Amino acid sequence: MGAVVMLTSGFGPGLSPHPGPLLKGTGGARRILVMPVDEARVAALERFHAAAKTRILRVFPGQGSVQVLELSAGEPIEEALASYRASGLVRFAEPDYAVSAAGLLPSDPHFQDGTQWSLNNYGQSSGLPDADIDGPEAWDVRWSASNVVVAIVDTGVRHTHEDLAGNMWRNPADNTPGFNGLTGGHDPWDDNGHGTHLAGIIGAVGDNGLGIAGVAWRVQIMACKFLDSTGNGYNSDAISCIEFARTNGANIINLSWGGPDYSDAVSNALWFARRDGIVVVAAAGNNAANTDLIPFYPAGIRLDNIVAAGASTRLDGVWILSNYGVASVDLFAPGAAIYSTANTGDSAYVSQDGSSMASACVAGACALLRAQEPALPPAGLIGRLLAAVDKKPAFANKCASGGRLNLRRALDRPAITALPNASPFELLVTGAPQHWYVIEATTNLATWSAVQTNRTDAFGAWTFTDPPLTSQPLRFYRAGPGP
């Protein structure tokens, strides 16, 4: 939720809109919304309607008797609004604004055709609607992390791929895209495919009319290879890649690999990454095991800059082979039937399953969060991510947060401000244009209750009016993403 504001007593049903431009088009612009000052003035307001030849289309009794009015033919909307506002009979008068569905939809064909269910699940392929990370709603807030470097410590990356080349990190010294821990050189070419698949999930170039969209449309992908063509490698080579990433400006490190053996050396390498403010995202593993009992590393290393991700399905369930654990897995993210970039060609794509894919999804989310909050320490960024999950029954008692990644809720944090000298009391909520937000109230800072949910206007603002009720004690308010 957003910042907490201490306010007066009570709350009421009325809403007072933030001033915006008048709509002069057709359709919704021929209708206006008004709210009677009080019940005693309703009869007078009805006489005012009759004189103005205005017709009542609908009344919302539970919303302070807000009325939807149709204006008489030819009456300019500006004049009608001015007349109602000057009448003394309404608390507000506003156009019935035309709106459109929130959500920024990229032109990438495999997003457009619904293949990328993890970003936008509307029930395609027998999926469960909204069992996704709310990509379009999140991208309304932020889609670029162009100043954030995500190191993929894995099998390398096919850095010439049509959907990756534009987002590859380049070494200022020699323009190379990363590091090869197997050779000590700077050509991390992917001869397996795993790392290239992760790269597309994290940061395939978005809205370019090609292939897919990454969680972050713009980001810097640093390829660090230590796994060979069969997907196997040694901790020592992984450490060399982690050290390269740490000393060359990585902000996020993705580790989609692991095993049952704990390594002090790997833990130390990740501790130094923690010291330098680097967030580490690790795959929970694919053994269908409770990793509280059967650990999987490096996801199981207990450092507060590491977030461990299990894999979820298009039905908001735990993927059949994903590891889980209340103490060892932090959250779930889409990881089954994930379509992404392939290493077999510069225009190749493939679908894969696994907590590796879930980890990459979380890494992309962390990149956007880092771009939004550059000064937030790793533990704070991870805390923001975990507080924003969609809690679902399938994930209860399976991970620490009890939920699945929701990128929109992590990014879409509205501001809340008390308007000075307002009587009755008013709050200004500001966020993304035409996004839903909820105001919650409490008297004890422990138990919060929703008091109003509304959509912001075209300027991203919503004014909540709270008339004083002497029977209510002093209380606090906060705002957060709505449904």
DSSP alpha helices (H): ranges in 337-401?
Answer: 355-372, 378-387
Give the active site residue among 240, 356, 359, 401: 356
> Residue 57, SS3?
strand
Contacts of 172 (CB under 8 A, 6+ apart): none
CB-based contact 332:309 (threshold 8 Å):
yes
Distance CA 334, CA 125 (A): 15
Give the active site residue among 134, 154, 330, 466: 154
Count of CB atoms situated within 10 Å of the CB of 78: 11
How far CA 312 is from CA of 48, 117, 319, 346, 465, in Å, comes to: 57, 12, 5, 28, 41
> Residue 140, SS3?
coil
Torsion of CA 436, 130, 350, 382, to 10 degrees: 60
Distance CA 389, CA 121 (A): 16
Contacts of 268 (CB under 8 A, 6+ apart): none
Distance CA 384, CA 378 (A): 10
| Nearest to 303, CA basis, from 262, 264, 271, 266 | 271
What are the tokens at 412? 């879409």
Q: Quote the distance between the C-alpha of residue 355 and its chain's center.
A: 20
Using alpha carbons only, what angle is made at residue 323 by residues 321 and 325, rounded to the nearest 5 degrees? 150
425 φ, ψ (degrees, to nearest 5): -60, 140
CB-based contact 358:310 (threshold 8 Å):
yes
> Is 356 labeled as catalytic in the residue annotation?
yes
Tallying the residues shown for the chain, one arrives at 483
178 φ, ψ (degrees, to nearest 5): 160, -140
Residue 154: its H or E element: strand 144-154
Residue 270: its H or E element: helix 264-275
Beta-bridge partners for 307: 281
Give the active site residue among 132, 159, 163, 194: 194
Indicate the pairing of strand 218-225 with strand 144-154.
Answer: parallel
> Is 154 labeled as catalytic in the residue annotation?
yes
Is the preceding peptide bond at 36 cis, omega within 30 degrees of 0? Answer: no
Q: Hey, which residues are catalytic here?
A: 154, 194, 356
